[in-house]
């Protein structure tokens, strides 16, 4: 079972595109490490460099203490599972599963036994004599997984193996993958852009954006104590409230987060107050998850916001409320992207023009550009509050929202943490 160490690994594609930027991380023996990030952030590129399918432009890859940059794929003892299983179409399921062992010239009796055993574990025994073309997507992925397991590699690399399946099948297979790779004890690096999949599967999650590692930690660490605003927002299935108050320290009595019409007070006893006070006179970003806010009665005297209920949204297991509260909001800060510097500016407008030409008269005006000062402070977005199983409020009503100060996530305007994560 391999340890995997990436040391400042970069990938520049021909043409100069920087897909992975000086990324360092370590996967321990037997660990299930999930690589999470939006489409195009470089996850597959990183995985393919570990597999040896893509050349490493700079930096080092160590597999089990051995420098592996120049090892051929088959010398790396890895098995990869892709989004589309890529099975041998003319072999039966049995033939696909046994192939790695036949190549290794294993005892045919043993092979037969192992294939049946594995097929049972993967719930595909009844498909053993069928060809891949006659299987459902879920069954094909199970066979692909089975074939990778058959090879008994030191390292599994899985690239969105479940993304073509429906939600129910994904949940089911996710649990099976988790149990299987843990039972086998094989180090596994698993790529996904689905945050629920990442949090439920991983021993640790590594979050990437634009080729850069944003954060790495256990699911609870990266969720509760994210290193960057990007991580906090990406790991939230509902929208994260990102507000931008001015920091003040009136008469040095406490730290005041001034949201214009509304304010929150951080007493000096708050462990983060001192770190925040360094931004006095400037702005920071406060991230609040919808479940860090709760409806409170008018008489409530703790930290709170006011707002008018604009919309109530039913999600089945919970209600969400959208409040107009006049709070200054900011979008998720993105690191500068040197990769698109030339192309970026007018891409959006170009798309609108194209749509207008395709559908004259049917395309609305492009949305007005958001005018904001350099810090993006003029935006006003709704405050999103999780209500639980009862709607509690009515639309149009004025509402008071209690704020759990301990759950405020505090970031600088460029999205890094004001107070270092407690890891
Ligand atoms: N062979 C290539 N040549 C040039 N650019 C490439 C090449 N392969 C990938 N890229 C670019 O590198 C970036 C990262 O691609 P990659 O496939 O690693 O992203 P990803 O995170 O796996 O995305 P997804 O979730 O959509 O699969 C993308 O912008 C992609 O267009
Ligand atoms: Mg990919």
In tens, the pLDDT along 18-47 reads: 999 999 999 999 999 999 999 999 999 999
170 dihedral zone (left: phi>0; alpha: psi -120 to 50; beta): alpha
Residue 358 pLDDT exceeds 70:
no
Contact yes or no for 289/282 (Cβ under 8 A): no
What band does 367 get if pLDDT is binned at 50, 70 and 90? very low
Q: Of the residues 12, 20, 36, 41, which should be mutated to test ligand 1's pocket, given the most ligand atoms within 8 Å of the CB?
A: 41
71 Cα to the center of ligand 1, angstroms = 22
**In this structure, what DSSP letter does residue 83 have?**
S
Q: Which atom of ligand 1 is nearest to the CA of 38?
A: 25
> How far, CA to CA in Å, does 156 sit from each of 2, 34, 134, 151, 316?
10, 12, 26, 10, 37
Contact yes or no for 210/393 (Cβ under 8 A): no
Residue 196 structure tokens: 């629920």
Q: How far apart are CA 72 and CA 181, in angstroms?
A: 24
Sheet holding 304-314, edge to edge: 293-295, 398-403, 304-314, 319-324, 383-388
Residue 298 pLDDT exceeds 80:
yes
Return the pLDDT at 339: 63
Q: Which CATH number describes the domain made up of 227-336+375-423?
A: 2.40.50.140
Any residues with CB less than 8 A from the CB of 302 and at least 6 apart, and which?
Answer: 296, 402, 403
* Ligand with minimal distance to 54 CA: 1
Q: Of the residues 38, 40, 211, 339, which should be mutated to test ligand 1's pocket, given the most ligand atoms within 8 Å of the CB?
A: 40
Pure H helices in 258-304 = 273-277
How confident is the model over 118-171, as pLDDT tens digits? 898 888 999 999 999 999 888 898 899 889 888 889 999 999 988 877 888 888
What band does 177 get if pLDDT is binned at 50, 70 and 90? confident
Class of domain 4-226: alpha beta
- Where do you find CATH 3.40.50.300 in the chain? 4-226
Which residue is listed with tokens 């996904």?
192
Pocket residues: Cβ below 6 A from ligand 1? 13, 15, 17, 19, 37, 39-45, 193
Contact yes or no for 65/59 (Cβ under 8 A): no
Residue 128 structure tokens: 């053993």
């Amino acid at each position: 079972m391999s340890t995997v160490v990436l040391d400042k690994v970069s990938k520049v594609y021909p043409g100069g595109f920087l897909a992975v930027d000086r990324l360092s991380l370590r996967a321990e023996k037997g660990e299930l490490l999930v690589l999470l990030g939006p489409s195009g952030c470089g996850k597959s590129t990183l995985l393919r460099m570990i597999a040896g399918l893509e050349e490493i432009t700079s930096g080092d890859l160590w597999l089990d203490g051995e420098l592996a940059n120049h090892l051929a794929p088959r010398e790396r003892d890895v098995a990869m599972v892709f989004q589309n299983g890529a099975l041998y179409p003319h072999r039966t399921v049995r033939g696909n599963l046994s192939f790695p062992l036949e190549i290794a010239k294993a005892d045919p009796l043993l092979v037969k036994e192992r294939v049946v055993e594995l097929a049972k574990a993967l719930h595909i025994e009844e498909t053993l004599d069928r060809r891949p073309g006659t299987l459902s997507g879920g069954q094909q992925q199970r066979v692909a997984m089975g074939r990778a397991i058959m090879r008994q590699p030191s390292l599994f690399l899985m690239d969105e193996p479940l993304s073509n399946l429906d939600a129910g099948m994904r949940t089911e297979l996710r649990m099976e993958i988790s149990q299987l790779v843990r039972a086998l004890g094989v180090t596994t690096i698993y790529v996904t852009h689905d945050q629920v999949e990442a949090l439920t599967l991983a021993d640790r999650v590594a979050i990437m954006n634009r080729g850069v590692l944003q954060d790495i930690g256990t699911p609870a660490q990266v969720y509760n104590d994210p290193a960057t605003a990007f991580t906090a927002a990406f790991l939230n299935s509902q929208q994260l409230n990102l507000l931008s108050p001015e920091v003040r320290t009136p008469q040095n009595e406490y730290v005041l987060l001034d949201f214009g019409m509304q304010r929150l007070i951080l007493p000096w006893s708050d462990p983060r107050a001192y770190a925040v006070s360094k931004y006095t006179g400037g702005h920071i970003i406060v991230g609040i998850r919808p479940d860090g806010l709760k409806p409170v009665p008018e008489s409530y005297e703790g930290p709170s916001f006011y707002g008018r209920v604009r919309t109530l949204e039913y999600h089945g297991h919970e209600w969400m409320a959208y409040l107009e509260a006049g709070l200054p909001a900011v979008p998720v800060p993105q690191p500068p992207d040197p990769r698109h510097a030339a192309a970026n500016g007018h891409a959006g407008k170009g798309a609108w023009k194209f749509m207008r030409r395709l559908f004259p008269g049917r395309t609305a005006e492009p949305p007005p550009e958001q005018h904001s000062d350099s810090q993006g402070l003029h935006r006003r977005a709704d405050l999103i509050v999780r209500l639980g199983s009862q709607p509690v409020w009515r639309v149009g009503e004025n509402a008071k929202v209690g704020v759990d100060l301990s759950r405020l996530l505090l970031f600088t305007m460029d999205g890094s943490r004001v107070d270092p994560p407690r890891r």
